Amino acid sequence: MPELPEVESIRGQLEPLIRGFRIVGANAHPSVKFSSAVDAIGHVVTGVERRGKYLLVGLDSDWDDRRELIIHLGMTGGLQVDDQPPRDPHCRARWDLDDGRHLWFRDIRRFGRVVVLNRGDHQSLPTLHAMGPEPFDPRLNPRNFYRSLTSTRQRIKTSLLSQRHVAGLGNIYTDEALWRSRINPVSRRVGPERASRLLGAIRNVLAEAISHGGTTLRDFRTPDGGQGRNQDRLDCYGRAGQPCPTCSAILARRIIDQRSTTWCPTCQIR
């Protein structure tokens, strides 16, 4: 699943390709998860922002300047901009730009979401509506991050995946950040010192992945068809059965709250 660094890579490539162009036609899969894509017709794209793992495409028109197109890539979603209209059975939404190009959303497993709504009116998207701070927001600091984590008794891995304490983490960067901060993924209480270490690790792991264009596993592609380069730099995620880069113990794997989790039994003690 694309996480913050992958979505940020896509945002950075997509914005210059579509900003300032008017959407003159659209077509969408009839599922309610995609059908409102056609409501973008007639609007000019004002920019592409990101919140957590969501893309927020600003829309402006002569009659309505308060709409936005929100795209969540789900497990397998991707966006492309092409001169030719897509001939792909997995195309779930297509927007025709006024210079003849087409933006389209491809999603094999259909866990993605495309919706046009009033700007900032996110009640229909509960995860986005309740989303915690962006990881690089300077208002997020070790103290309020710790306080936020103490509001739940969930396992730390599950807390981080909930998006409520910090936005944008999925399975890859959660496992990486917990490994780097030496916190066991099943811990239910993380003290102030470990919370501070964890926040630092989250920021470092994400910043490094962004600088490497994201991680390509299976289906992730950037709009130019390229792949990220971060997959060769993972220390923990996907390396179960291999030695820990720090202590050489064999990395363990188990399912925690339905999510496959890899950690070092020696470095990440409870």
Active-site residue numbers? 2-3, 53, 259
Given candidates 191, 247, 254, 270, which one binds Zn ion under the rule CB under 5 A? 247
By CB under 5 A, residue 207 contacts Zn ion = no
Given candidates 40, 244, 262, 263, which one binds Zn ion under the rule CB under 5 A? 244
By CB under 5 A, residue 246 contacts Zn ion = yes
How far apart are CB 266 and Zn ion at their closest, in Å?
5
Please give the distance of CA 177 from its chain centroid, rounded to a whole number: 16
By CB under 5 A, residue 178 contacts Zn ion = no
By CB under 5 A, residue 267 contacts Zn ion = yes
By CB under 5 A, residue 231 contacts Zn ion = no
How far apart are CB 244 and Zn ion at their closest, in Å?
3
How far apart are CB 180 and Zn ion at their closest, in Å?
11
How far apart are CB 267 and Zn ion at their closest, in Å?
3
| Interface residue list for Zn ion (CB under 5 A) | 244, 246-247, 249, 264, 266-267
